[in-house]
Structure 1
Amino acid sequence: MAVKSLKRAQNKIKIKDLKLDALLEVTLAINSNVTKEELFGIYEKVLRELDIEKIALYIYESEWNLATWYGLEGEKLNINVEQDLLIYEEIEEVNSKSEAIFDGFDLIIPVFHKTKPLAYLLIGDIINEAIQISPIIKHLPFIQTFTNIISVAIENKNLAKEAIRQERVKKELELASQMQGMLLPTTLPQDEHLDIAAFYKSHQQVGGDYYDVIWVNKTEIAMCIADVSGKGVSAAILMSNFQANLQAGVTHSVSLPELVQYLNDKVIRNAKGEKFITMFIATYNIESRQLTYVNCGHNPPVLKNGTEILQLKDGCPGLGMLDYLPSPKIGVIDLKQNASLVMYTDGLVEVENNKKEEYGTTRVMESIIKKKKASMAELNTFLMKDLEQFKEEEPFVDDIAILSCKFL
C-alpha cells in the first residue's frame, strides 16, 4: 500500500513538473518569437504526455482553420466552426451527442478574449476499461489554461503581423503621395489668352489622379487629365512613367492619334496588363482658337462654348486596355471668347448623397452656367462647396482632380 501511495505521489510530482516545464517552455518560445508551427509542436507534445488521445484545435486567423490535430485524420473532419462550434461559449461535453461530426471527442473547450472567440479545442480520451480518472478530467484546468496561452499567442502574432503590414502600407502610401506631389504642376498659365486653375483632393493619402499643362510651342498648349487604376506606389510609378512619356510625346509635336498609340504601347509595357489609364488630352491653338482633343475612356469633360454646353466624348478606349487601339475619333471645336472647359476625374461625379444619388455631370454643367463670369479658381471652389453640400454626411470615396480652363 505504501509503495502504491509513493508511486502516486511520484507520478503527481512528475505531472506537476511536466506542467511547469511546459508553461516555462511555451513562455520562452513566445518571447523568442518562434513560428506558429513550433508553438503547435510544443502544444501537441505536452498533451500527448498527458495521455490525451486525440485533439483538434481550430483557431481564427482572418478565417477559421484547423490549426493542429492528432489521433485522427484531420482531413476527414467535417466540422464547420461557424455552424457547429460558435454556439458554444462554455466547456461542453459532446460524447453523448448524436452529431456524427463529434465522434471520438469528449469535450469542446472554447477560448474567448472578452466576447471574441479565438479558438475551439476538441479533445478525446484514451479508450481504457480500467477504473481510473480520465486524463481529460484530471488535467482539464491545465489544458484550458495552456490552450488559452497558445491561442492568445497566435492572436498576438497575427495582430503584430497586421500592424507591420499596415505600417508598410502607410509608408508606401506616404512615398506614393510624395511621388504624386512631384508629378503635378506647381504653376499654371494665367495670361491674356488663358485662365487655368486646378484642384486636387486626395483620398487616403494617394491615388492615381494626374493632370498637366504643357506648352507645345509658342502658340499651342496641351492639357491633360488622367486616372490610373489602383493605388499606392505601383500606381504612382506607372503615372510617373506616363508623365515622362506624355511630355516627351507632346514636346516632339507628334499628332494626337500618334501620341495616343505611343502612350498605349508604353502603358502596356510598363503595367504588363495589370493596370490601365483613362485620359483626356486636348491641344489648343491660341491664334486659331481651335481645340483638338481625344478622350481615352475618361469621364467626358464639360465645355461651355457660347450658349452651347457639350460633353467631350470623341476618342477611344482607355490606355492599356487593348494591345492596339483602334484609330481614335478626333474632336475638333472652334472656341468662342470666354469658352470654359472643366476636366475632372470620377471622384467628383461619383460622390453620393444620403439618398445614394450621384453628384453627376449635370451638376457640373449647371455650375459652369451659374458661374460663367467667375475665374477658374473661383469655379473650382464653387464646385467643391456644392459637392460638400450635396453629399451631406456621406464620405468621399475617391481622389478628386479638377482642371479648369477659360479661353479668353
Structure 2
Amino acid sequence: MIIRMGQKLAQMDRLKISKFKLDALLDITLSINANLPVEKLLAKYESILRDNLGIGKILIYKRSNTWECILNGGFPEELENIDVESRLLDIKEIFFDAAEMGFEGVDIIIPVFNNNVHLAFVFIGDIEEEGEGMSPVLKHLNFIQTFSSIIIVAIENIRLFRESLLQEAMKKELELAARMQQMLIPDNSQMPKNPGIIVHGFYFPHYEVGGDYYDCLKLSETKTGFCIADVSGKGISAAILMSNFQASLRALFTHDINLETLVVKLNSIVVVNAAGEKFLTFFVARYDHKTGIMEYLNAAHNPPVLYDTVTGEVLHLQASCVGIGMLDEIPNAKKSDLQIKNYSKIVCYTDGLSELKGDDGNDIGTGVIIRHISNTAPVEENIKEMIKELGLPDDNPSTFDDVSIIVADLPR
C-alpha cells in the first residue's frame, strides 16, 4: 500500500514536472513571438533552469561575428574568456568530460548547431553540494538541450533581423546619397554650347556611391568656369560633403576671383566640414573665349588632357598642390595660364576612367583618351566612341568606381 502510494506520488511529480516544462516552452515561445529583448529572454531562460529546475550553474558562448559569452550564471569569471575556436569546436555532441578539459565546475557541455555549424555552447553544472537522488542536470538533460536550442536560435534570429534592418538602412542611405550626387551633376542641356565653347558631361555611377562631381558655370559673357572633383570615401557623408562643396564653389567662383584664392577658401571650408576625415581632388579652369586664355589650377586631381587639333600637341595639365582638405593650409597653390591659339579639345576625368584595366591588366591611363580625340571631330563624339569601346557603364568587368568626364571643344 505504502509502495503503491509512493509510486503514485512519484507519478504525480513527474506529471507536474512535465506540465511545468510544457508551460515553460509555451511561455518562452510566446515571449519570442512578442519580440522580447535578448536580455529578458536570457533572464527567463536562467530563471527556469536555475530557480525552477535546480540547475546550479549555466554559461552560454554564442557565435555572432565572434564568439562571446552572453550569459554566466554561477560559474567563475575565468570561464568567460575561453578561446572557443581552439578548445570547443571539436565537440560535436553532448560532452560529459568537461572537467578533464580544465573547466572547473562544469558537468556537461551542450553544443548547439544551426545548419550544421556551431552556433553556441552551453555549459551546465550542479550546485556544489547536491542532495540525494539523481542530479538535476541528468534528470532534465533532454529538456535543457531542447530549451537551450530554442533560446539560442531565437537570439540568433534577432541578431540576423537587426543586421537585415541595418543593411536595409545602409541601402536606403546609399540610394539617398546616389540621388543627392545625381542632383549635383548638371544636365547636358544646361551646359554652354556657343561659338566660343561647347561643353558636355558623362557620368556613370557605380554600384556604390562615390564622390564624383563636375560642374560648368557661366561667369560672364565671355568667361566660362568648369571643374571636376573626386571626394575620398563613399556613401552619404561623401555626398553631403560634395553638396556643400558645390554650394561653396558656386558662391565663390566669379569671373575675376584669383584661382589661388578660390582654392584656399574652398580648402578652409572643407577642413571645417570634413573635420580632417575626408579630402577631395579638384581641377578648376576658367576660359575666356574672346581672348583664348585659359587659367587653371589642379589640386592633386588626375591631369586633364588638352589636344590642339592643328599642331597635334598634347598637354597634361598637371597638379600644382595637394588636394582640398588634406592640410589646414594649402602650400604652393599656383594657377597656370594657357593661350589657346587653335581649335582645341580638353578632357577632364576621374580615376574611375584612368584606372580601368586594359587587355594587359594595367591601368589604361590617358592613352585611350588621346587616341580617340586626336582628330578634328567634336570631342563629344570622340568620348562617346571611347565609352562604347570601353564597354561603359555595364560591360567592363574592371569597373570599380564611378566614371565621370567633362569635356569641352574650344573653337578659335
> One fold, TM greater than 0.5?
yes
User: 2:304, 2:56 → 1: CA distance?
Assistant: 71
Do the aligned residues in 1 keep the contact of 2:390 with 2:396 (CA within 8 Å)?
Answer: no
Tell me, yes or no, if structure 1 residue 12 matches structure 2 residue 14. Answer: yes
Which of 234, 241, 251 is residue 238 of structure 1 equivalent to? 241
For residue 98 of structure 2, give the secondary structure of its aligned residue in structure 1: coil
Does residue 1:167 correspond to 2:168, yes or no?
yes
Q: Which residue of structure 2 aligns with residue 348 of structure 1?
A: 353
Please identify, of 358-367 and 136-145, the stretch whose mean Cα deviation from structure 2 is larger.
358-367
CA separation of 1:66/1:129 partners in 2, compared to 1, >3 Å: closer, same or farther? Answer: closer
2:321 equivalent to 1:319: no
Cα 1:334–1:115, aligned 2, differ >3 Å: closer, same or farther?
A: farther
Cα offset for 1:377?
Answer: 2.4
Say whether the 8 Å CA contact 2:113–2:119 is kept in structure 1: yes
Contact 1:215–1:221 (CA under 8 A) maintained in structure 2: yes
Mapping 1:5-404, distance limit 5 Å: 5-48=7-50, 49-95=52-98, 97=100, 99-100=101-102, 102-127=103-128, 132-186=133-187, 187=189, 188-204=191-207, 206-251=209-254, 253-305=256-308, 306-352=311-357, 356-369=361-374, 372-388=375-391, 394-404=397-407
Aligned equivalents of 1:291 and 1:2: distance in 2?
A: 110
User: C-alpha distance in 1, partners of 2:397/2:378?
Assistant: 29
CA contact (8 A) 1:316 1:329 kept: yes
| Superposed displacement of residue 41, structure 1 | 0.6
* Secondary structure in structure 2 of the residue aligned to 1:93: coil
Displacement after TM superposition at 1:127 (Å): 4.5
Task: Quote the offset at 1:60 in angstroms.
Answer: 1.9
Residue by residue over 1:170-228, the C-alpha shift from the partner in whole angstroms, topping out at 9 and shown as x without a partner, is 22222222222222111222232223221111112532111001111111111100112
Percent identity between matched residues is 43
When residues 156 and 184 of structure 1 are mapped into structure 2, their CA distance, relative to the original with a 3 A threshold, is same
Q: Is the CA contact (8 Å cut-off) linking 1:55 and 1:69 kept in structure 2?
A: yes
CA contact (8 A) 2:351 2:403 kept: yes
Aligned counterparts of 2:392 and 2:239: Cα–Cα separation in 1: 31
Q: Do the aligned partners of residues 183 and 390 (structure 1) sit closer, same or farther apart at CA in structure 2, a change above 3 Å counting?
A: closer
**How much has 1:373 moved relative to structure 2?**
3.1
2:279 and 2:325 in contact (8 A); partners too = yes
Q: How far off is 1:404 after superposition?
A: 1.4
**Change in 2 beyond 3 A, CA 1:110/1:294:** same
1:92 counterpart SS class: coil
Alpha-carbon displacement from aligned partner over 1:65-112 (angstroms, at most 9, x marks no partner): 111112212345442122222233333333364x32x33323322222
Residues 1:353 and 1:95: Cα distance change in structure 2 (over 3 Å): farther
Following superposition, the deviation at residue 130 of structure 1 comes to 6.4
Contact 1:214–1:222 at 8 Å: present in 2 too?
Answer: yes
Distance 1:81 1:342 in 2: 57
- For residues 124-183 of structure 1, the C-alpha deviation after alignment (integer angstroms, 9 at most, x for no partner) is 234557664332332222112111111111121112112211222222222222222222
Q: Which has the larger displacement, 276-285 or 102-111?
A: 102-111
> How many Å separate the matches in 2 of 1:338 and 1:110?
76
One-letter amino acid of the structure 2 residue matched with residue 394 of structure 1: P
SS in 1 for 2:261: helix
Asked if structure 1 preserves the Cα contact closer than 8 Å seen for 2:372 and 2:383, the reply is no
SS in 1 for 2:366: helix
Q: Secondary structure at the match of 1:294?
A: strand
Looking at structure 2, the residues matched to 380 and 133 of structure 1 have their Cα atoms a distance apart, in angstroms, of 84
Q: CA deviation at 1:20?
A: 1.8
More divergent stretch after superposition (209-218 vs 175-184): 175-184
CA distance in structure 1 between the partners assigned to 2:396 and 2:369 by the alignment: 20
Aligned-pair distance for 1:7?
A: 4.1
Q: Which amino acid aligns with 1:310?
A: L
Report the secondary structure of 1:315's partner residue. coil
Structure 1: gaps of 5 or more residues:
none
Q: Structure 2 length as normaliser, TM-score?
A: 0.90
Distance between the aligned counterparts of 1:19 and 1:126, measured in 2?
Answer: 21
Q: RMSD over aligned Cα, in angstroms?
A: 2.5
Equivalences, count: 404
- Structure 1 residues 10 and 82: CA distance shift in structure 2, 3 A: same
Report if the CA contact (8 A) 1:280-1:296 is conserved: yes
Amino acid at match of 1:153: A
Distance 2:186 2:409 in 1: 18
Return the alpha-carbon distance in structure 1 between the equivalents of residues 400 and 201 of structure 2.
20
Measured in 1, the distance between the counterparts of 2:398 and 2:319 equals 32
1:258, distance to aligned residue in structure 2 (A): 0.7
Structure 2, unaligned runs of 5 or more: none
Distance in structure 1 (CA, Å) of the matches to 2:400 and 2:216 = 26
CA contact (8 A) 2:99 2:106 kept: no
After TM superposition, the structure 1 stretch with the greater mean CA deviation from structure 2, 102-111 or 53-62, is 102-111
The 1:174–1:23 alpha-carbon spacing in structure 2 relative to 1, beyond 3 Å, is same
1:304·1:339 contact (CA, 8 Å) conserved in 2? yes
d(CA) in 1 for partners of 2:61, 2:98: 18
Which one-letter code corresponds to 1:287 in the other structure?
A: K
